[in-house]
Structure 1
Amino acid sequence: MDTLPKLLLANAQKWGHRRPAIREKEYGIWQTQSWAAYAENVRDLALGLAALGFQRGDKLAIMGVNRPEMYWAMLAAQSLGGVPVPLFHDALPAEVQHLLDHCEAKIVLAETQEQVDKVLAVREGLPKLERLIYDDPRGMRKYTDPILIALAKVQEMGRQFREQQPHYFERQVEATRPDDVAIISYRYDMAGVARGVMLTHRNLLANVENVLQVDALRPNDELMAFLPIAWLDDTFWSLAVALKVGCTINIPEEPDTLPRDLREIGPTSLVAPPRVWENLLAIIRVRVEDADIVKKSLYNYFLGLAQRMEEQRSAGRSPSLLQSLLYKIGDFLVYAPIKDHLGIRRLRFAYSGYAGGLLAPEIFSYFRALGVNLKQSYGLPEAATIVTVHRDGDVRSDTVGKPLPGVEVTISPEGEVLVRSEGVFQGYYRDPEATAAARSDGWLRTGDAGEFTEAGHLFILDRLAHVAKLADGSTFAPLWVESRLKYSPYIREAVAVGAGRPHVAALIVIDSENVARWAERQGLGHLAPEELVRHEAVQRLVHEEVRRVNQGLAASTRVQRFVILPRDWRPGDEEVTRSGQVRRDVVLKKYASLIEALYTDAASAELVTSVTYEDGRKAELRTQVSLITVQAPEEIGVAG
């Protein structure tokens, strides 16, 4: 089977209604869809699209969260030789207009009224748009625009189409080819420019085979489908891997219910960006802070034991008999209950993906110490998501593992990571210049700086353009500092600066939820986010976190000054990409005056920033922020 639709039909024929293909939690109850029902829904939707005039090469844009209907739509478009284009459901109207126009979408599937309204608001700028399909009709009873049509109606049209042409769907699926473009996935670069990554069925399935040679999956495995559908990682695991293996994907009710839904499903494999692992650790640390003295003592003792044993294993040494015995006791009292609470006890393996940056070695080692077979992976959409990953028994907390089978990785003379494999993309849609720039003599240029260790592991330093020198000539890789700062449960984002400067400084965004809980435990009462960042106790808390991080950094790269920013960064405000990666160039420009102030003796500075609301309106905010020098605790310089 060489295309995704062909795999779907093969699975439906093999397992029919006997095995679950998708579970979706709705209104607190898990709803199960068999492989036969999955294929029937895809068939009805594909034929309905055909009745609307959708043909080979046409683009179907999809706006929504993880739902079975979104996966039906992707496979329905592919079954007709068309191309699905998943977009972020919360994109602003201007962004929606640009992407729909750029991909030349003929039909859009919008999940809810919110997405429908955005498309209708920019419809005049979309000359190729012919139909707008909606899934959830709530709030749309009085909508009369003829471009609108319900998803249920489209599927009904598909069933009627089948009565006239009973074999049309099967013939269309059989006509799909491995070199058909299977998806256009928009990736935002660090400057905020969206580029449509084109991948074929061959690209996706070749890399699935590469991954399965390292970590095999079985039909009875359970995966979680919670990454945004606009991320290629979701297409890779929730469609390509699931279809190839025949395993079940489980869709949480809401992003906020993921921890609870993880506990209920107990997945056997989990792929998540660093932010998810950071959040899971934050949940544990908050619970420990709230525990009584006995439980806290047990936790600290057995965690220390587990971390020492993990360090020994990483160094190639075997634990002693006494350590192994104590670990079993610790597993009963501490490790297993923690994993049960998080829903990760059944995991055979888990990947921390590269989206949003590297996972701090301390966090990585923490989960490994608990007995979670967590592996660091590295990749990018242009290479069908995964390039390198750790192997069982060969894991290093500060590397991203070895290249997958079938994947070649080399380092250019300039220090850039280059990739060559059958999974490398076909190019950026309607952007030949960017496509040419991304390739060099048959290699994909990743834009990342890295090197290989003596053991053959790839070590990622940072983006090549971000590696710089301090004023004294010391090499400075911001990502290395930032990933360690984000190990703190109280620091959500950090940007380290220092190129050409005498020392390193940092812009810090606190995790308002965790800091608020900490503040309540300290008796500070309920504080609003803007009050938290100004409170002296919170500033002292963050100062201690920075001091702790500095102890593990080379002297030249230790943070000497920092500022806590008054609000979180959101994609709509341009500081971070839709995949959660900080847009460094944007941040450096937007906060240039504040960065300059960090290299003076000033104790505070005025911060002027603009914010963009969900409806596209902009506003300017003026705030006085404290500039904090990292000193001994009794000498903390806090102003304002």
Structure 2
Amino acid sequence: MHEFTVPPVEAAVPAGGLADIVFSRAEEAPDHVALARKGPDGRWRDVTAARFRDEVLGLAKGLVAQGVRFGDRVAIMSRTRYEWTLFDFALWTLGAQPVPVYPTSSAEQVFWMLHDAEVTACVVEHEDHAMTIGSVVDRLPRLQRLWQLDAGEGAVAELTAAGAGIDEDVVQRHRRAVTPESVATVIYTSGTTGPPKGCVLTHANFMVESDMLVGRWEPVFRSRPGDQASTLLFLPLAHVFGRMVEVAAVRGGVKLGHQPVMAAAELLPDLAAFRPSFVLAVPYVFEKILDAARRRAEREGKGAPFEKAVEVAVRHAEALEHKAFGLGPGPSAALRVQHQFFDRTVYARVREALGGRIRHAMSGGSAMDRRTGLFFAGAGVTVFEGYGLTETTAAATANPPGRVKYGTVGQPIPGTTVHIAEDGEIWLHGGQVFSGYLNAPGETAAVLNDGWLATGDLGALDEDGYLTITGRKKEILVTSGGKSVAPTALEERVRSHPLIAQCIVVGNDRPYIAALVTLDQEAVEHWLAMQGRPPLPPAELVRDPALETEIRRGVVAANTLVSQAESIRTFRILAHPFSEEHGLLTPSLKLKRRAIETAYAAEVEALYR
């Protein structure tokens, strides 16, 4: 199949701007719980629609008092937190354009984005961010204002006080001037293949995207009928996925909480306290929860029963998947009995790690291993994997409720068409496709043709219109023997080994395929402890024969996916992970291949001696 379209669900034609829902919801249901905010004491407190409206209005008046006007671009450099959402909707109320900046961005990256977007003001989280801006401010003549969230009483209180004398009608006139075609934001791509490009996204792009997702998936946002849907947002709001979640939650009436750290030690306690009914995450989060459950079982001497529980969950979910597509009768009686036993002893603890209420989740950002998706489904949490880009305002495809094909990224979301070009490239068309790159007409023309976006990704559609991602055009390796190899599937399979954190496949213009792998330090420490061995320094660890044997198992398992000519012949274990700080990962944790191969040129050469 070369093309598949899903008709749009019934939804209101986009009108006005994104901030309008804040004001209409407060008018219609002032006591509706719109958000929740974590206080200094660690307790979560509800924020009603009326209170949120009042806070947005007060902040918008302050921004007007400080000179922000319709069409101005204002950068936000912060982790995910309540104030970001407050600033987003206050700026949208004025018709201004927030420009998100990753809090880990370097001074030169910050300069490029603020210069390219001609930003006139900037919101930062803390002193370190302010110093980063300060180091380049002399090269940013248009930058007039800087507000810091954590300075003194905070930027929100400061601005709200500054706007006390502004008439509300000034703000409302700005809001009424916003149309669906108005620019909502400029989001910069992660820059895996060059300098970041500013994706210009309109209010209509976000309305179409969020309303189609809510319309199609809203029934699974709740744990049970009658509950209020709620989600804890821990994705970075500087990324389009997190931004879409923010907008969809506010427009869909889903109670929204914020958590700034995605690390399990910080995230899991907040999941337990907030108890969301639905989460949107990246595969890394689900993998970490599974790995943590496995390590806990092994520490308790229950490693073998846990692995049996994993196998039963996978088989049970796979049987239900086959039944949904008319390929089988569903789980056998014996399998159902086993599943019920493990549901009480194992799966309930996994669900509890997610807060206890979640029965459905959505995953995007990178590929999820099919077996991981099947395990969570068998454990009572159906994960809808999807696919999208910054240029498509997040999701363009996702697995539909009731008919999930694990290992695929699903069908087009309603109102979207997926087309597979002759060379296997994925082309997308729909109301969420962006209008172009800022200040880059040539690069826009290279990917956008009559509303069709050429994604640069490679994929295939099956007979039911489900999309599978097979790689990226620019990342295809060609060995010296002429064999073309898509590295992504190999890398993901290697990375699924519990001890491996990252994997990059190399072999362009080389006689065979090889790989560099990094280790999951926490998992390796646990593995050594289970063997009764003390922790090893990195230099000794990478040469440990037992560890090499274990890593080789992961490589051999990955090689079963491909032909011998495409298989990984040899690998090197690295002492340290690829990091964003060293310029080897994008802020969204994607590998910067050229940078890694340059930084580890000696190690790559050694693979071919």
Question: Normalising by the residue count of structure 1, what TM-score does the alignment of the two structures yield?
Answer: 0.86
Q: 1:301 to 1:393 in 2, by over 3 A?
A: same
Q: Secondary structure at the match of 1:194?
A: coil
Q: 1:289 to 1:346 in 2, by over 3 A?
A: same
User: Partners of 2:587 and 2:144 in 1: how far apart?
Assistant: 27
1:383 aligns with 2:392: yes
User: Partners of 2:486 and 2:40 in 1: how far apart?
Assistant: 44
Counterpart selection for 1:155 from 147, 152, 160: 160
Letter in 1 for 2:245: W
The answer for the alignment partner of 2:446 in structure 1 is 437
How is 1:17-56 mapped onto 2 (pairs within 5 angstroms)? 17-24=31-38, 26-56=40-70
The answer for the alignment partner of 2:189 in structure 1 is 187
Q: Please give the root-mean-square deviation of Cα atoms over the aligned residues, in Å.
A: 2.1
User: Partners of 1:469 and 1:9 in 2: how far apart?
Assistant: 56
The answer for the alignment partner of 1:349 in structure 2 is 360
User: Partners of 1:130 and 1:579 in 2: how far apart?
Assistant: 29
Q: Which stretch shows the higher mean deviation, 75-84 or 552-561?
A: 552-561
How is 1:364-513 mapped onto 2 (pairs within 5 angstroms)? 364-470=373-479, 474-513=483-522
Q: Is the 8 A contact 2:494 2:557 kept in 1?
A: no
User: Partners of 1:283 and 1:441 in 2: how far apart?
Assistant: 47
User: Partners of 1:337 and 1:508 in 2: how far apart?
Assistant: 31
1:80 aligns with 2:79: no
The answer for the alignment partner of 2:233 in structure 1 is 225
Q: Secondary structure at the match of 1:4?
A: coil
Q: Residue by residue, what CA displacement relative to the aligned partner does 1:524-563 show, whole Å, maximum 9, x if unpaired?
A: 3233445433444433332233234334544333322101
Q: Is the 8 A contact 1:469 1:476 kept in 2?
A: yes
Q: Residue by residue, what CA displacement relative to the aligned partner does 1:462-513 show, whole Å, maximum 9, x if unpaired?
A: 0012234445555421001001011112111101123444432111111112
Deviation at 1:131, TM superposition (A): 0.8
Q: 1:334 to 1:124 in 2, by over 3 A?
A: same
Q: Is the 8 A contact 1:26 1:253 kept in 2?
A: no
The answer for the alignment partner of 1:605 in structure 2 is none
How is 1:302-381 mapped onto 2 (pairs within 5 angstroms)? 302-315=309-322, 316-317=327-328, 318-343=330-355, 345-353=356-364, 355=365, 357-381=366-390
Q: Is the 8 A contact 2:34 2:253 kept in 1?
A: no
Q: Secondary structure at the match of 1:235?
A: helix
Q: Secondary structure at the match of 1:448?
A: strand
Q: Which stretch shows the higher mean deviation, 85-94 or 311-320?
A: 311-320
User: Partners of 2:371 and 2:27 in 1: how far apart?
Assistant: 46
Letter in 2 for 1:76: A
User: Partners of 2:304 and 2:502 in 1: how far apart?
Assistant: 30
Can you give the 5+ residue segments of structure 1 that lack an aligned partner in the other structure?
Answer: 141-148, 601-640
Q: Residue by residue, what CA displacement relative to the aligned partner does 1:3-62 show, whole Å, maximum 9, x if unpaired?
A: 211011112222324424233354422233222221111111111111111111111111
Q: Secondary structure at the match of 2:591?
A: coil
1:110 aligns with 2:124: yes
How many residues align structurally?
Answer: 582
User: Partners of 1:63 and 1:92 in 2: how far apart?
Assistant: 11
User: Partners of 2:272 and 2:134 in 1: how far apart?
Assistant: 39
How is 1:92-103 mapped onto 2 (pairs within 5 angstroms)? 92-103=106-117
Q: Which stretch shows the higher mean deviation, 470-479 or 508-517?
A: 470-479
Counterpart selection for 1:582 from 577, 591, 609: 591
The answer for the alignment partner of 1:202 in structure 2 is 204
Q: Is the 8 A contact 1:24 1:67 kept in 2?
A: no
User: Partners of 2:382 and 2:174 in 1: how far apart?
Assistant: 42
User: Partners of 1:302 and 1:122 in 2: how far apart?
Assistant: 54
User: Partners of 1:54 and 1:531 in 2: how far apart?
Assistant: 57
Letter in 2 for 1:193: P
Q: Is the 8 A contact 1:181 1:199 kept in 2?
A: yes
The answer for the alignment partner of 2:3 in structure 1 is none
1:245 aligns with 2:252: yes
User: Partners of 1:113 and 1:32 in 2: how far apart?
Assistant: 29
Q: Residue by residue, what CA displacement relative to the aligned partner does 1:443-467 show, whole Å, maximum 9, x if unpaired?
A: 1010001111122211110001223
The answer for the alignment partner of 2:80 in structure 1 is 66
Letter in 2 for 1:346: R
Deviation at 1:168, TM superposition (A): 2.0
Q: Secondary structure at the match of 1:378?
A: strand
Q: Secondary structure at the match of 1:567?
A: coil
Q: Which stretch shows the higher mean deviation, 270-279 or 10-19?
A: 10-19
Can you give the 5+ residue segments of structure 2 that lack an aligned partner in the other structure?
Answer: 1-14
User: Partners of 1:169 and 1:117 in 2: how far apart?
Assistant: 31
Q: 1:537 to 1:335 in 2, by over 3 A?
A: same
User: Partners of 1:558 and 1:194 in 2: how far apart?
Assistant: 33
Letter in 1 for 2:162: M
Q: Residue by residue, what CA displacement relative to the aligned partner does 1:414-461 show, whole Å, maximum 9, x if unpaired?
A: 211000111110111111121111113431010001111122211110
User: Partners of 2:407 and 2:540 in 1: how far apart?
Assistant: 36
Q: Is the 8 A contact 1:360 1:486 kept in 2?
A: no
Structure with more relative contact order (C-alpha pairs < 8 Å, separation 6 or more): 2
Q: Is the 8 A contact 2:228 2:254 kept in 1?
A: yes
The answer for the alignment partner of 1:606 in structure 2 is none
The answer for the alignment partner of 1:638 in structure 2 is none
1:558 aligns with 2:540: no
Q: 1:415 to 1:100 in 2, by over 3 A?
A: same
Q: Secondary structure at the match of 1:589?
A: helix
Letter in 2 for 1:518: W
Question: Normalising by the residue count of structure 2, what TM-score does the alignment of the two structures yield?
Answer: 0.91
User: Partners of 1:222 and 1:520 in 2: how far apart?
Assistant: 39
Q: 1:327 to 1:2 in 2, by over 3 A?
A: farther
User: Partners of 2:61 and 2:271 in 1: how far apart?
Assistant: 35
Q: Which stretch shows the higher mean deviation, 370-379 or 247-256?
A: 247-256
Q: Is the 8 A contact 1:362 1:487 kept in 2?
A: no
